[in-house]
Structure 1
Amino acid sequence: MGGYAGCSAKQWQFAAWLAAVAFIFPIPHTIALRNLLLLVGLVGLVWIGRTSLPKPASWMKPAAWCLIALTSWIAFHSVTVAPSPTLALDQFRANWMMPLLLGGVGAWAATQLPRERAAQVVVIALAAHMVWLLGWQITLWLKIGAWPFKATPFGAYDFHGTLNSYLLALLVADRLAWTRSSHSPLALGQRGGWALLALSLAADVALQSRNSTVVSVAILAAGSLVLLNAQSHRRRLAIVALGAVALIAASSFRFDHRWQSLRESIVIGWTSNNTYWLTGDGEPGHKISPPATPSGDPLETSAYLRAAMARQSIDFLADHPLGIGFGHDAFGRAIAMKHGHSGMISSHSGWLDFALGTGFVGLALLLTTAGVAIRAGWRQFRERQDAQALLLAFFVGGYMLRCLLDGHLSGWRLGLFSFVVGVLVAGMHEKPDEP
């Protein structure tokens, strides 16, 4: 990794602030500290912004216009279509405008550092979480004698799976750029970059988060395809990457027993009229048993629930194609309207939650925005060797895939995603002149 010897005291402060936000944001029960950090960033943004801010690169403008159109649709929908405009507008403020603001703050802070340092400190902060995770599991392993897969120092294991997906997407893009031009857009160098990639892969195995593994495999497979289309000496790396894909997949199948009845559970969730997905075991005296699988294997509850909720979401959208108001709890409101059952929140798919809230139009605009950004980033890298653009393409693609599999299109996950995107976008500009 490159050193910071040439950085001024001011640049050190910005680097520390970026790392603090990226590290603290996913930790539960730190809302006051998060808000304090963001307040510091906002004050700095107003102070520096009084002079000049960087102009967006021309190749990013189509994605920016798509984002403006998407935001405008959510606002318009919240006022004119949503059954409860007050609720929809409150969700719009908290779960859309605040993440956008967070992205702007991250972009501003990144412009105060040398071009590659901002993204580097974010990656270091994400990697620190993986070191913490593995250190925690090693400590438990020494105590109990068996490796404690899924054990985490805080929060659920899918918290760390999300962070590792962010980290892996950035590192794979960085290593692709390195193999192509011996240039690391994250300023990690040769050994540092490969070491962090190995750390991320080890964390994926240790977490045994099935959806995280699916995203990891997809990211590595995409990187392998890029290498296979490159010159012959890079194809050897593609083979190594495919080997990593096989290793991660095999370890997941070996240690995560849920794969065994996955297919049966999905089919049952999609086709069965059993309401176990809605009420669980039911009320006392009215116990509802989970559906039985044809093979007699135990029902894989997670896959069953996701399939059943996806079917309910699609059926509801067929009757309400314009949605029922923006919000991460759109699925819960839809189920309350249809079945009179309250207490549910997400369908476990961010795409479906977004469609239930903003309709098919909102989902189409969301996917168009992401697709335009990914395509533009890839073309910018392929045609102009802009490695920062490749980071953006992989990061957005990895997040959107995860949102398809999980209800992660809200909360701290969306906030941190927006923050990192802001940092990456700012890295595509030259640092502005000092005021």
Structure 2
Amino acid sequence: MSSASTPVSVVGLGADGWPGLAPAARAALRAAEVLVGGPRQLDLLPAEDCAGERIPWPSPLRPAVPALMREHAGRRIAVLASGDPMFYGIGRALAEELGPAALLVHPHPSSVSYACARLGWPVEDTEVVTVVGRPVARLSAALHHGRRVLVLAPGPGSPAEIAALLRERGFGPSRMRVLEQLGSDRERTYDGTADGWAHAPGDPLHVVAVECRRAPGAPRLGATPGLPDSAYEHDGQLTKRHVRAATLCALAPAPGELLWDIGGGSGSIGIEWMRTHPSCSAVTVERVGERAARIGRNAAALGVPGLRVVVGAAPAALAGLPAPDAVFVGGGLTAPGLLDAVWAALPGGGRLVVNTVTLESEALLGQWHRRLGGDLVKLAVSHAVPVGGFTGWRQAMPVTQWSVTKEEGSEI
């Protein structure tokens, strides 16, 4: 690890390479005894100006960072990054491993800045989704009619893959523009619609700009909890729309938080928890393998393929899971020791929400409510249905919901 007197220089490079660097960045690279980066980045540095030892990043990259920094401790190290090192770049890993004070970052305009400049899009109004090392299904959560999205893509075949996803999700009319080699003298832009995309794979260094247009008749999925039940593939084991919205309200997801969704069914609670913010995560526990596979398909279709699905019965299946910020129990409530296990796993300030429709489980919730307090409510939803030539109400099965927040230092 580099000492405090020799901070690691982290230098952002554009497609224009050495000519596009600021004087301070060039000076850092000239002074470096060790130059670390991807082969493409290292090849952009002129040998006559940058004489340091060149070390390509091994694969996988992240686990190699600590050992590589220790190996060259005390030497002047410069790490190369694409564009802005702190925007989906190596700067994050270095800051987490070495601490921010051990770094001297020289940012370069990111591909997002270049793309917005070429397109005339305000950066603050543009959604950015990366599918580099991540499933392209992540893009689904950002698809809303009229929105502008920049997709950071990993390779030449990405535009065709993105076009296929847009068509599958009902956004075939969306305009797509591929911007290659931004900032270099080899810049190129080509466009079309997802429905008519027929371009051959191009340069691997590109971003894809999407102007979202929903096809006539395609389902409209909002940004708040309570998606239509029809958005889910299910076998009847689904927390219905209005109860789901009330349940997410009680769970109160916040950025960066983790949910345990126990008795996943179709995965709707975990999925809509994750859709509230890109940094939210969830683990769904489902004992039936067929349903677990269905949860995975629903998560991918609705833009949160990172939802973790654990096949097994709680509480045994909870062993070894990372500590949650909130827990939802939608099934298996009467399993011996389940509520004790999830309550013990919650930290102070964590939330527990439990839904049930049976008298036996309702009685159990009454006991826990007497012990710990919280809110115990009954949710009843009725739908208008034809009754002969008239209209009447058909009531869905009422749901009893208990929600409670664990106090700091609680041992109960």
Could you say which TM-score interval applies, normalised by the shorter chain? under 0.3
- TM-score scaled to structure 1, two decimals? 0.21
Of the two structures, which has the highest relative contact order with CA contacts closer than 8 Å and spacing of 6 or more?
Answer: 1
Structure 1 or 2: more strand by fraction: 2
- TM-score scaled to structure 2, two decimals? 0.21
